[in-house]
Every structure is written in structure tokens, then in C-alpha cells.
Amino acid sequence: MIGKRLGGRYEVEQRIGGGGMAVVYKAHDNLLNRTVALKILRSQFGHDDDFIGRFRREAQAAASLSHPNVVNVYDVGEEDDIQYIVMEYIEGLTLKELIIQKGKLDVEQAVHIAIQICDALEHAHHNHIIHRDIKPHNILIGSRGRVKVTDFGIARAVTSATITHTGSVIGSVHYFSPEQARGGISGEKSDLYSLGIVLYEMVTGQVPFSGDSPISVALKHLQENIIPPRELNPDIPQSLENVMLRALVKDPLHRYQSAKEMQRDLRTCLNPERLNEPPLVIEHDDDESTRVIPAITPEMMKQMEGKELFDEDDHRNSHRREGEKEKKPRKWVKSIAWISFLSAFFIAALYGFNFLIGIFYVPEVVTPRVEGMYLEEAVKVLKQKDLGYVIQERFNDEVPRDMVIRQTPPPSMRVKQKSEITLFVSKGQQQISMPDLVGLPERHIELQLEKFSKVNIERKPSNEYATGIVMAQEPGAGEMVTPSQTNVLISISSGKETVLMPELIGLTLEQAESVLVKNGLKKGKVKLEPSYVKKGIVFRQYPFQPGSQASPGAEIELAVSSGFPTDAKTVSEPVLVLLGDHPAADILILVTDARGKDIELVRRTIRQSDTFDVEVVLSPSQDATITIYKDGSLLEKRNIQYADVP
């Protein structure tokens, strides 16, 4: 498969993963010049028309999802009996790989990941798509920590085809909900149960149920209670354990009602006031508890039939014994009586049945589509169909206020007249209280601002706040804001304020003082010391060297030359330059002596021969060298020894 091109544009580069249903490859989209993930259905499923149809429909449904926490599906195709799905390529690792690397995750990190998974599930459920295979293997962690849920749709297609064709259940049994383990219908709450197991594994490092075979694990989902997470990891707060306990209730009625509700609980479970809340207790109705009823076998049916026949014979024999002394009626009289009785009974039953049908029969209607209508208009449409309605309001960032988000039952369903249609109506964008971020480390603000889409961060120096600490925010803490519309500005400390230390060496004392004041620094002690620098010139600065960072207002000590040392020797050396046949020449004279290297003393154009008095300064450890250049070429190099100078 490596090197093969699918759809005329997808160049397969390397295999990056795979499972029981498909193999995933990294590929390059030559048309759009981008890297993609290519999921290719295994060959044993590629010839089942029914499965392929379901697979493609579900993949297309998954492609309709557009959410930052859902892996985007770009394309679905077929070529040479190869069924493939083109998806967004995520650079990172799976949640399963992360758990294996760390053993178990920090509570804060696990909650942060679970909140993002809830966001993805809420979006999918809102679009009537159930994942059905939530597990760490299907959760991708991007290079920047962004969580991406993948395999929407294909898990649903696998389940449907499996139940239809084999009557069994295939999937990740360690993450099954009890209703999935029973082979029943899985819905939104099945995904929440699976998420509860993923959260359990993140904070404890192990799944709640394991066994020697898939059947034994499935039975544990149905019959056994989980080991409380805090027994495996005492660092888990009670509030977080309560979230897991509620998500993992075996009866779906007692779980979270939606992914949004679970997400709300996760967002606050690490708040200080909730950490030590009482353990969650789910009350069950004993009369409604699940019971295991054995299937009725043919042998049991035969036994039941034999018992019924035996009971009927006993009944007849007992009547016969009681009526032994009575005289038998004539057979024809008995037959007429029975015929008359049965005729009357059937006539009465027929009239009664028709009468009851007329009383209890309720006509059926087809539910109209009111999703996307404003509530007032939707109510009128339902009344025209003689249908009732129940309103449930929900906050929604995308649907305007008073508009119907979705309806239950969905459109085009046949229901009885007078039936109630549940309308989920938007309350508009939810306003929340702006969290208090001042004083928090930068790494903690991402979770606090996860709902906000317009966040700007600026960094400023501060002598009050340490590096990386939030020192100001806009809007302020406690203000009511709409996360999707509010512009948030966060000011983060870049550390103490500093200034760039200027170069003072070579300046006069007055010039150095002026530069210090201009840069917000102060002149410190001034020391006059002998030096081979010209008298009155700064030759040393302390403690900050040029180009380093200094604190504003810092005092800078200066060393100023008081003249040459007593052992210095000064010599004026005459240098004759002859012009010769040239009308003019460019002369350059450089001196290396105790004052420094290659000091430029003369740069001049002469038009006649001339003599230059070149002054050099020698020290016991430094002789002098005079280098003369004429029109860019070396003319002469003259050395002067300290010992030769009187």
C-alpha cells in the first residue's frame, strides 16, 4: 500500500496505526498540498455491500461534524475495491499511549482532557450521532495539548453490521456500557459510561473490569460494582470520584442526562469548596432491579405442555366423579345449546370490539419538522397537526434565542394525535461570571479560558509579580460575559523590568553621565586611576557590562583615566612619505602600542611628499608598531622598543 495513490491525489507514505476494522496511513494530499490520515477498510470487509453502504453513510455523517475537538473527515472514497476515509492528520499520540507512558495522569490533566471529550460528544449528540466506541485508543492528544476524538461513524457502522449479520457484539469490551454488553440499543448515555471508564483509567492507570475473556468482562459490566477510584489512587478528590461514580451507574436513567451536564460537573469538581463533598449515593428501586431470567428451552416447553394436559384431565375426572349420579342430557340438546351460546358470544364480542375501537382509536399524524423555527412559529405548526408540546430550554452559542434546536420525536415520525413533542429551545448564548485569573500561573489559565474564543495575551515587565504570573485581566473577575463574543486581554509578567546597559567606555565623564540619565540609570562612584587611555576618558564600568540587562535606577561605577602611568614612555616618531612620480597618494598610518591595537592616527591625501610626527606610548610590557599604507598597499612597518627609548 505504501507509495500507492488513491483517488488520483492521496499519496500513501507510511503506516501509522490500525485496528480490527481498518488500517491507518499517513498520506499526502497532492491537490491541496497537505498531510492527511488515510483510514483504509480491511479487505475482509470490502465485499459486503450492506456493510459498505452503512460504513459510507456513517462516515459521511461523521464528516458533517465540525468541532475543534473532533477529527475532521475530509473525504470518503472507493478505488479497486478499497474503501477509504480521508481525515485530518494529528501530530501527537493517543491517550492510551500517554497513559502507558505516565502510568496514570495528574488529576488536573485528566479533568482537562475529559472536559474536551465532553465537548466533542455534546456536539456529536446534538447532531444525532452516537460514537459507540469511546476509548483511549480513539482519543488523540495533539502537540499543543488539544484533544481530538476520532472514529465517529465507523464504530456505529461496525456495531450495526455485526448485530444484523451475526447477532453478536464486536468492540472494545473494557469500555462497553451495560446496555451494549447486553446487545441492546446504545445511545448518548452509553458514550458517557465509556467516558467514565476512560476517566477512571486516566486517574488510576487501569480499567475497572478485566477478565480472561470478553464474555467475562461483559458480565462484570452487567453485574459487578467498580472498585472505588480513591482506593487505587488516594490523590483523587471525592468530588472527582463522584463524577466517575455517576457516569458509571449501570442504569442509564441514573447517569448524567447529557455530555453538557457531565462537562459542567467536571468544570467545578476541582474547586476547593467541592473537594471534600460527601460520597455520591445512587438510590435504586429494588422492585425495578435487573433480573437474569433463563431462556425457555424446548424441553421446558414439553414439560409445561404435559403438566397442562395432566391438570386438564384431573379437572375433567373430578367433574365426572361429582356428576356420576346425574343423568346425562341428550347429545343433540347439548350441541344446540353450545352453538347458540357461542353464536351469541361472538356477535356480542364483535359489536363490543367495534364499539371499543370507535372509543379508543386515535388517528396518527406525521411529525412536522420544526427544528430551526422560532418557538412561536413551531407551536403554530404543531397545533395545526393537533400535537402538544413540552419545552426544554438550553443555552446554545450557535442557535439564536427562542429558536428550536432539535425535537423529540424527530421529524417524519408517525405518532398519535395529541402526542407531546419535546422542543429543545435555545436560551441564546450563556453568560458566565468571568473567572479571577490574577495571581495564577500562565499554565493554569488555559483551562479557565477554554470556553473563550477571543483571548489575547500581552507580556509586561513587573517588579511585583514573578515571571509567568497573571498580573491583570480585562474583563475583570466577576463580570458577566458571553464567552464566544467577549474579547479577553490577559497581562502576564515577563519578570522584573530591566534596561539595556549602554557602552560608556571611551566617553568623557560628562558624556557618560548624560547617557546614564537617558537610560534610567545613575552615576555611582567615580575613580580616577592611571591608564593608557587619554586623560578624562572612561575606561571601565561596573557592575554591568555593555549589552547586559540592568535594573532601572541601578548605580554604575566609573573608572576615569587620570593620565598615563609613571612608567609609561611617550615618543614622537617622524615618518617621511615620498610622493615620487605620482601626483597624489592616500596615506593611512596605524599604531599599535600600550593604548591599544591598530589605532588610526593619520588618514590623509597628500599631493607632495610630507613628514608626519607620529606619537606612540610604550609600557614595560608593550612595545610600539607603526604601520604605513600608501594607496592601500603596505609601504612600511616600523617597530619601536621600550628599552630603546631613553
Q: What residues are labeled active site?
A: 133
> How far is the C-alpha of 232 from the C-alpha of 239, rounded, in Å?
16
User: Which three-class secondary structure state does DSSP give residue 68?
Assistant: coil
In contact, 95 and 141? CB cutoff 8 Å: yes
Taking residue 61's Cβ as centre, other Cβ atoms within 10 Å add up to 18
Region of 505 (left: φ > 0; alpha: ψ -120 to 50; beta: rest) is: beta
Helix and strand totals (H; E) in the chain:
15, 30
Q: What single-letter DSSP state applies at residue 328?
A: P
> How far is the C-alpha of 24 from the C-alpha of 418, rounded, in Å?
51
Question: What are the residues whose beta carbons fall under 8 Å from the beta carbon of 456, sequence distance 6 or more?
Answer: 487, 488, 489, 490
Strand-pair category, 480-481 with 522-529: unpaired
HSE of 49, CA atoms in CB hemisphere, 13 A:
0
C-alpha cell at position 545: 557590562
Name the strand (E) or helix (H) holding 366.
strand 364-366
> How far is the C-alpha of 196 from the C-alpha of 373, rounded, in Å?
35
Taking residue 612's Cβ as centre, other Cβ atoms within 10 Å add up to 17
Question: Is 348 buried (19+), middle (13-18) or exposed (0-12) by CB count in 10 A?
Answer: exposed
User: Which three-class secondary structure state does DSSP give residue 196?
Assistant: helix
To the nearest 10°, report the CA torsion of 230, 234, 239, 243.
Answer: -40
In contact, 502 and 523? CB cutoff 8 Å: no
In contact, 404 and 380? CB cutoff 8 Å: no
> How far is the C-alpha of 113 from the C-alpha of 96, rounded, in Å?
12
CA gyration radius, the chain: 45
In contact, 478 and 436? CB cutoff 8 Å: yes
User: Which three-class secondary structure state does DSSP give residue 96?
Assistant: helix
Q: Residue 229, preceding bond cis, omega within 30 degrees?
A: no
HSE of 580, CA atoms in CB hemisphere, 13 A:
6
C-alpha cell at position 199: 476517566
> How far is the C-alpha of 606 from the C-alpha of 585, rounded, in Å?
6
Q: What single-letter DSSP state applies at residue 80?
A: T
C-alpha cell at position 183: 446487545
HSE of 88, CA atoms in CB hemisphere, 13 A:
21
User: Closest Cα partner for 631 from 568, 584, 578, 580?
Assistant: 584
User: Which three-class secondary structure state does DSSP give residue 315?
Assistant: helix
Question: What are the residues whose beta carbons fall under 8 Å from the beta carbon of 88, sequence distance 6 or more?
Answer: 36, 37, 71, 72, 73, 74, 148
> How far is the C-alpha of 497 from the C-alpha of 392, rounded, in Å?
54
